[in-house]
Amino acid sequence: MVTILSGALIVLSSLALGVGGLAITYRFVPVSLLQAHYSATGAIYAALYVMFGISLGFSLFLVWQQYEAARQTVEAEADAVQRLYWLADRYPDPERSRVQDLAVSYARVEVEDEWPLMSRGRVSPHAEQVAQQLAEAVRDLDPKTDFQNALYTDALGRLDVLRENRALRLTEVREGIPSVVWVVMVAGAVITVGFTYLFAMRSFKLHAVATGALTIIVVLLLFTVGVLNHAFDGDVRVGPGAFELALKEMGQ
């Protein structure tokens, strides 16, 4: 809901500025002057909006790929935790109970502790501590049979998957589009919309509709990039659903 309200506010504010700038242009710049340079202005604008469109499209594609990668990372991490739980089931106590209890604890601390912190760009020291304890418990397993030895090898592989995907997730919490890219995109948006002021029309209302439509599309695309830029923040984010499902399965 917060994302929708903030998006609506940004779009309306940008629309008011865009149409307001057009009104000022009509007020102080003669229409005949704009019409006299229409050909040159059109050629420049064609190159301008192509370059801006490519840049914006690439940025949108990049953040979407990052968002999908974050979702797959979380699913792989949660699956590794759940797999460790079931692999330990073929070991006797107390080894089995220690691994299984820590697997459940890790999934729970992710849902209850680390996810709320990630929305603020932080990570949980407690979750890291439990992850280290789980790794130690898995490595301390003592296989007695060939079957347990195969399970132990599989468990070590799953542990590597867990640690790798946890590291990737924590990196994704801190990373986003560099500030310089945002400067380029916002500047390109302002110039692209502002350049439409140089195309005079007989009807100001028609020109305002065209400029307003372009402004809305550009701002919505920029807003989408901003929303997807941080996969674990905001209303549109990668949630802890995979860990919640793992908790449910391990509870059964």
Residue-wise pLDDT for 149-169, tens only, equals 999 999 999 999 999 999 999
Half-sphere exposure for 196 (CA within 13 Å, toward CB): 23
Give the residue among 156, 165, 184, 171 at the shortest CA–CA distance from 231: 171
Q: Which residue has the tokens 């439409």?
A: 196
Element (H, E) at 231: none
Specify whether the CB–CB gap between 247 and 104 falls below 8 A: yes
**Which SS3 state, helix, strand or coil, does residue 94 take?**
coil
Q: At what angle do helices 125-139 and 95-109 cross, to 10 degrees?
A: 160
Q: State the pLDDT at residue 41.
A: 80
Name residues of the chain where pLDDT drops below 50: none
Answer left, alpha or beta for residue 91, where phi above 0 means left and psi between -120 and 50 means alpha.
beta
* Whole-number pLDDT of residue 1: 62
